[in-house]
């Protein structure tokens, strides 16, 4: 026990050793939250509580793994493996699997990831022609489920049963589709588990203690689940911080903290107050920020480190400059600290993943290695999803969504039409898509269902491939990696990827190898707790879950960036680019938060300003020693920005410096103390600083204007420089202007077209009154498709219109013409008519429309734009060269000045 509490402060120690049954530990950023929780687990074990009777719930897989590792360091691998550590979803799924009969589930039940859910909803909405957005609907369903509300209950809560008919129907069909495909969506995992544990409390009879990390992020259903896990012994420890609640959009309920205290009145609360992570200056600004929220109860946060550097708030002209600045600051910081900081010590935290692009560009340009966390996830990559879908079908052919996705990938000449008719038929006959396909391979046609012979061949190929895979699997001598390889060969993935992604195919094939490696690891990977425990506690363990089912469930739940990459990157030190959300719980010596403007943070789509503020708070408190916020004057869409309202207030504003720190040697020493590393030698700092072009953050003016003056001491006169710059600016401006004009012009044209179209419709209507009984003409013009067509096709339609008008007037066989006009696929564009059209140009009022959509003027303009751009590029290159030259010379001058000032101190330099 002594060893467990060694190195803990009083509050932490109290939390770790507390005898309280129900314990809330409120832990602000950097207060050793994870450390306390892991130590408490170790203390419980030391008290003789059996590892398999402890549940530790986290929110992310990453957090679960980190926790797992840390606990292992305390209690050893054996005990750790018996603990039940994992995300809520994974633990819940484990219970469902082991008690599948009690839960009324098929033993092979799979997990529907978000792609599946959205795909199902899309299909339902399309089929029924509902006026719903699939994404919104998914969110709405999920939000209800997160509160523990299922469909029937929701219907009852409606005032009128007819209310929201489309939504309710969609939900109903969605649930039905999940059942047909034998799937649970993310929320269902939790819901089903709640009902299981309610009906069969004995499933968790062996559980002694439940610990929950990041409790402020639990939603209603997770809270219920926690209570149910602990229903026998009622021993619960939670750790959390209301200030870091950033998941209320996922229905996280901060009020769960209060509810917990109400439900278990003996709840003891312990506040951790000392911060071991960040410098005083960083904490101060973070505190100023979070205190803007007046509804928040005041809370102490005590710095243990020295005051340190003032955080930076940097203004820059554009998003590009901002990215460039970050890259140069990273380089400058590294050089001025003589590599005290590695690349992996820097993080760039963005509000939304899309913002990373400009930063990535700049880092690439400066050859700074980086990794993006939370970008395109491994399991979201096309080739991985494809293989997984094949595996899903092989494992369980009723997975119709997956089957639908792989049916024509790689192309088997099975198009949308064929697929729709197959789905339709399957639904009518109330059978799975697969069984229908199966039938197709035996009989060449089924009851009047038409499928082209090419498509039929394709179907046969697919079915036989899946069948032979299943044979492999069932024979029992194929491992998952072997199965994957079999699939890859069977669909000739290599050739397909090469054809489809000629440029990125290498990397994609690499991803496939990656998947193979992960599949090989599946049995040994975390968490193994579930199997161990079922043996030890003699819970019903007669269900032997196939490794493939387990692998697929893992893949669906594993949204975290892939584990292996993280491992590989240990050797290569990489700068981290991450969303703020994904950065929660982590820390870095130096943190950059770009794009601090209104619309980004707080995000324009966000409805909860306080949560956005907490988000910025989380971002700031990731930093140990150096924190830099930045804000471009112009965002990436050339729009003016307003500095984030969170930091423009004077209380916060005055905490910031307006440019990067000077990083004198004393600063380096201070930094090394904060991050607990040995300080580099002064002479090393000096020599590494010489590699820099400039050793201060003084290239960009602090007011965010464009740098115009460079060192006048250098050979380049400032006029020369300024005029060069001005000319580039002028040219750039003229490019922007012409681009703008072009845009406006196009908009104008579109408007004209629109007007004429309406004119045409009303003309047609008038005409219709003349030609009684020819209703088709008007309905043709009113086709929504026609309304949506681009300029080009509108032109065609219009030409056709006037042509038809002509034809109608001239040709006696009116009926024939009308029939053609009424055909929505524009077959009126028959050769004969077009020829006639060419021979006799149409009359006004439609004549101007017949001009080509890319007018010669446009071409001319485009060319000018291109020419201008090239000219500007050239100028810019020259300019850049000049500025580099200036920089070099300035650098020299600065270097000289520095040595004149006696720095580095004599004697220390070799």
Residues of this chain that interact with DNA (CB under 7 A) are 59-62, 87-90, 114, 142, 186-187, 246-247, 249-250, 351-354, 357, 374, 376, 382, 408, 411-418, 452, 454-455, 504, 557, 559-560, 579, 581-582, 603, 605-607, 785, 788-790, 792-793, 796, 826
Indicate the residue among 139 and 481 with the shorter CB distance to DNA.
139
- Contact call for residues 280 and 250 (beta carbons, < 8 A): no
Give min distance, CB of 405 to DNA, in A. Answer: 10
34 catalytically annotated? yes
2 is catalytic: no
The active-site residue out of 24, 34, 58, 621 is: 34
At its nearest, how many Å lie between DNA and the CB of residue 373?
Answer: 8
Please say if 133 is a catalytic residue.
no
Residue nearer to DNA on the CB measure, 310 or 351: 351
* Beta carbons within 8 Å of 635's beta carbon, 6+ residues apart: 319, 595, 597, 599, 600, 641
Least Å from the CB of residue 112 to DNA? 11
Whether 420 is catalytic is: no
Pairing of strands 209-212, 236-240: parallel
Pick the catalytic residue: 12, 244, 561, 634? 244
| 518 classed as catalytic | no
Nearest residue (CB) to DNA, 636 versus 669: 636
Q: What is the rounded end-to-end Cα distance, in angstroms, of the chain?
A: 51
Residue with Cβ nearer DNA (579 or 801): 579
Residue 806: both structure tokens together: 């002509």
Cβ-based nearer residue to DNA, 211 or 340: 211
Distance in angstroms (rounded) separating the CA atoms of residues 726 and 487: 60
Separation between Cα atoms, residue 570 and residue 579, nearest integer Å: 21
Judged by DSSP in three states, 608 sits in coil
What is the three-class DSSP state of 8? coil
Instruction: Choose between 102 and 603: whose C-beta lies nearer to DNA.
Output: 603
DSSP state of 55: E
CB of 140 to DNA, least distance (A): 12
- Our CB check for DNA shows the closer of 235 and 820 to be 820
Which residue is catalytic, options 33, 145, 508, 757?
Answer: 33
Give the shortest CB-418-to-DNA separation in angstroms.
Answer: 4
Residue with tokens 């409790």: 215
Q: CB of 715: closest distance to DNA in angstroms?
A: 37
What's the min distance (Å) between Cβ of 312 and DNA?
A: 25
Asked whether 799 and 837 are in contact (CB, 8 A), the reply is: yes
Task: Tell me the pairing of strands 370-373 and 575-579.
Answer: parallel
Q: Which of 556, 530, 544, 528 is nearest to 203 (CA)?
A: 530
Write down the least CB distance from residue 383 to DNA, Å.
11
* DSSP collapsed to 3 states, 387-413: HHHHHHHHHCCCCHHHHHHHCCCCCCC
Coil, helix or strand for 588?
strand
Q: Report in angstroms how near the CB of residue 406 gets to DNA at its nearest.
A: 13
Active-site residue among 80, 351, 392, 622? 622
Catalytic residue among 116, 187, 213, 612: 213
Q: With both helix axes pointing from N to C terminus, report the angle between 186-199 and 88-98 in degrees, rounded to the nearest 10.
A: 50
Structure tokens at 313: 């708030």
Pick the closest to residue 271 from 240, 243, 237, 292 (CA basis). 240
Compute the distance between CA of residue 194 and CA of residue 454 in angstroms, rounded to an integer: 49
Report the alpha-carbon distance of residue 261 to residue 236 in Å, rounded. Answer: 11
Q: Can you list the alpha helix ranges (DSSP code H) found in 342-432?
A: 356-365, 382-395, 400-406, 416-428
Residues 6 or more apart whose CB falls under 8 angstroms from that of 523 comprise 547
Task: Given the residues 214, 241, 554, 635, select the one marked as catalytic.
Answer: 214
Query: What pairing do the DSSP bridges indicate for beta strands 84-87 and 236-240?
Result: unpaired
Nearer Cβ to DNA (847/862): 862
Residue 244 is a catalytic residue: yes
How many secondary structure helices (H) and strands (E) does the chain include?
39, 16
Q: How far apart are CA 422 and CA 417, in angstroms?
A: 9
What tokens appear for 547 in the block? Answer: 């490794």
Nearest-approach distance from CB 495 to DNA, in angstroms: 12
Residues that are catalytic: 33-34, 213-214, 244, 622
């Amino acid at each position: 026990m002594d060893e467990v509490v060694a190195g803990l402060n009083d509050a932490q120690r109290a939390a770790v050793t507390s005898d309280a049954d129900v314990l809330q530990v409120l832990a602000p950023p950097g207060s050793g939250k994870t450390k306390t929780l892991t130590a408490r687990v170790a203390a419980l074990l030391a008290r003789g509580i059996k590892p398999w009777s402890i549940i530790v719930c986290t929110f992310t897989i990453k957090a679960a793994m980190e926790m797992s590792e840390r606990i292992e360091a305390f209690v050893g691998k054996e005990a750790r493996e018996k603990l039940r550590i994992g995300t809520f979803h994974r633990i819940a799924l484990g219970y469902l699997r082991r008690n599948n009969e009690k839960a009324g589930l098929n033993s092979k039940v799979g997990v529907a990831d978000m792609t599946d859910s959205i795909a199902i909803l899309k299909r339902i909405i399309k089929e029924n022609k509902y006026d719903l957005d699939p994404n919104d609907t998914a969110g709405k369903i999920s939000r209800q489920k997160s509160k523990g509300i299922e469909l029937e209950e929701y219907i009852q809560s409606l005032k009128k049963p007819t209310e929201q008919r489309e939504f309710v129907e969609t939900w109903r069909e969605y649930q039905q589709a999940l059942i047909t495909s034998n799937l649970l969506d993310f929320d269902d995992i939790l819901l089903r588990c709640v009902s299981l544990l309610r009906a069969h409390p004995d499933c968790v009879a062996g559980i002694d203690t439940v610990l929950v990390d990041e409790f402020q992020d639990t939603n209603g259903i997770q809270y219920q689940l926690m209570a149910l896990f602990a229903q026998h012994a009622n021993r619960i420890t939670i750790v959390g911080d209301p200030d870091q609640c950033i998941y209320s959009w996922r229905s996280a309920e901060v009020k769960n903290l209060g509810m917990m205290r109400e439900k278990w009145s003996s709840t003891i609360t312990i506040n951790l107050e000392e911060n071991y992570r960040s410098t005083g200056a960083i904490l101060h600004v973070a505190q100023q920020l979070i205190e803007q929220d007046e509804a928040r109860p005041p809370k102490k946060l005590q710095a243990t480190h020295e005051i340190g550097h003032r955080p930076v708030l940097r203004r820059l002209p554009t998003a590009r400059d901002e990215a460039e600045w970050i890259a140069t600051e990273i380089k400058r910081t590294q050089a001025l600290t003589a590599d005290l900081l590695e690349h992996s010590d820097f993080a760039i935290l963005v509000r939304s993943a899309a913002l990373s692009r400009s930063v990535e560009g700049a880092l690439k340009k400066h050859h700074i290695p980086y990794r993006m966390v939370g970008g395109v996830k491994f399991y979201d990559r096309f080739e991985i999803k494809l293989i997984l879908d094949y595996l899903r079908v092989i494992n369980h052919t009723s997975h119709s969504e997956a089957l639908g996705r792989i049916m024509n990938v790689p192309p088997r000449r099975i198009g949308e039409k064929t697929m729709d008719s197959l789905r339709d038929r399957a639904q009518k006959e109330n059978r799975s898509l697969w069984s229908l396909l199966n039938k197709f391979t035996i009989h060449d046609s089924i009851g009047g269902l038409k499928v082209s012979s090419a498509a039929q061949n394709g179907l046969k190929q697919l079915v036989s491939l899946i069948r032979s895979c299943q044979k492999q699997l069932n024979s029992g001598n194929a491992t998952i990696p072997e199965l994957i390889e079999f699939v890859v060969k069977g669909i000739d993935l290599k050739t397909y990827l090469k054809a489809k992604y000629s440029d990125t195919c290498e990397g994609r094939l690499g991803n496939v190898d990656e998947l193979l490696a992960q599949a090989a690891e599946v049995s040994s990977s975390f968490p193994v707790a579930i199997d161990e425990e079922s043996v030890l506690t003699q819970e019903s363990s007669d269900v032997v879950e196939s490794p493939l089912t387990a692998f697929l469930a893992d893949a669906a739940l594993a949204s975290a960036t892939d584990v292996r990459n993280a491992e590989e990157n240990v050797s290569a030190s990489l700068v981290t680019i991450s969303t703020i959300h994904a950065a929660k719980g982590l820390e870095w010596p130096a943190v950059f938060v770009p794009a601090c403007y209104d619309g980004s943070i707080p995000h324009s789509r966000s409805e909860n300003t306080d949560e956005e503020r907490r988000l910025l708070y989380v971002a700031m408190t990731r930093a140990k020693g150096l924190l830099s916020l930045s804000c471009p004057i112009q965002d990436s869409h050339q729009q003016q920005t307003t500095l984030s309202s969170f930091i423009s207030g004077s209380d916060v504003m005055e905490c910031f410096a307006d440019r990067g720190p000077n990083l004198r040697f004393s600063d380096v020493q201070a930094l090394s103390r904060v991050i607990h590393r040995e300080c580099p030698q002064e002479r090393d700092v000096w020599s590494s600083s010489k590699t820099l072009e400039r050793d201060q953050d003084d290239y960009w003016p602090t007011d965010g204007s464009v740098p115009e003056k460079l060192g006048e001491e250098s050979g380049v006169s400032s006029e020369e420089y300024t005029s060069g710059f001005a000319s580039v600016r002028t040219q750039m401006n003229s490019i922007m202007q012409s681009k703008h004009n072009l845009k406006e012009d196009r908009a104008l044209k579109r408007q004209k077209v629109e007007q004429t179209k309406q004119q045409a419709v009303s003309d047609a209507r008038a005409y219709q009154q003349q030609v009684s009984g020819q209703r088709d003409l008007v309905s043709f013009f009113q086709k929504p498709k026609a309304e949506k067509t681009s300029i080009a096709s509108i032109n065609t339609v219009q030409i056709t219109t006037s042509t038809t008008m002509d034809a109608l007037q001239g040709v006696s066989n009116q009926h024939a013409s009308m029939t053609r006009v009424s055909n929505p696929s524009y077959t009126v564009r028959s050769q004969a008519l077009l020829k006639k059209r060419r021979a006799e140009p149409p009359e006004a009022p439609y004549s101007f429309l017949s001009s080509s959509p890319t007018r010669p003027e446009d071409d001319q303009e485009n060319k000018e734009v291109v020419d201008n751009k090239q000219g500007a590029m050239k100028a810019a290159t020259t300019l850049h060269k000049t500025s580099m030259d200036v920089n070099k010379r300035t650098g020299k001058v600065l270097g000289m000045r520095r040595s004149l000032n006696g720095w580095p101190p004599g004697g220390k330099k070799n």
